Amino acid sequence: MMWPFTKKGVSGFSWNSTAEQVTHGVDATGASSGIGAETTRVLALRGANVIMGVRNMVAAKDVKETILKDIPSAKLDAIELDLSSLDSVKKFASEFKSSGRPLNILINNAGIMACPFKLSKDNIELQFATNHIGHFLLTNLLLDTMKKTTRESKKEGRIVNVASEAHRFAYSEGIRFDKINDESSYNNWRAYGQSKLANILHANQLTKHFKEDGVNITANSLHPGTIVTNLFRHNNAVNGLISVVGKLVMKNVQQGAATTCYVALHPQVKGVSGEYFSDSNVYKTTPHGKDDDLAKKLWDFSVNLVKQK
Q: What are the tens digits of pLDDT across the range 171-206? A: 999 999 999 999 999 999 999 999 999 999 999 999
Structural domains of the chain, ranges and CATH numbers in brackets: 21-308 (3.40.50.720)
pLDDT at residue 266 in the model = 96
pLDDT per residue over 213-258, tens digit each? 999 999 999 999 776 544 444 455 444 444 444 445 567 778 878 9
Predicted local confidence at residue 23, as pLDDT: 78
Q: How many CB atoms lie within 10 A of CB 42?
A: 28
* Selection from 117, 118, 123, 130 nearest residue 84 by Cα: 130
CB atoms within 10 A of CB 88: 18
186 as an active site residue: the answer is yes
Query: What is the pTM for the complete model shown?
Result: 0.90
Distance, in Å, from the CA atom of 166 to the CA atom of 187, rounded to the nearest integer, reads 13
In the chain, which stretches have pLDDT less than 50?
1-4, 29-32, 229-234, 237-247
CB 204 within 8 A of CB 190: no
Strand partners, 157: 217
Looking at residue 228, its pLDDT comes to 55
Q: Are the beta carbons of 120 and 84 closer than 8 angstroms?
A: yes
Q: How confident is the model at residue 227, as a pLDDT?
A: 62
Q: Output the CA torsion sign for 102, 140, 181, 192.
A: negative
CB 40 within 8 A of CB 76: yes
User: Residue 136 and residue 187: Cα distance in Å, rounded?
Assistant: 23
Q: Which of 186, 262, 276, 283 is catalytic?
A: 186
Residue 130: what pLDDT? 97
In the prediction, which pLDDT does 213 show?
96
pLDDT (0 to 100) of residue 27: 64
| pLDDT reported for residue 12 | 86
By three-state DSSP, how is residue 1 classified? coil
Beta-strand relationship, 281-282 and 217-223 = unpaired
The bridge status of strand 281-282 relative to strand 157-162 is: unpaired
User: Tell me, what's the pLDDT at 238?
Assistant: 46
Give the whole-angstrom CA distance, residue 259 versus residue 156: 18
Distance CA 17, CA 122 (A): 39
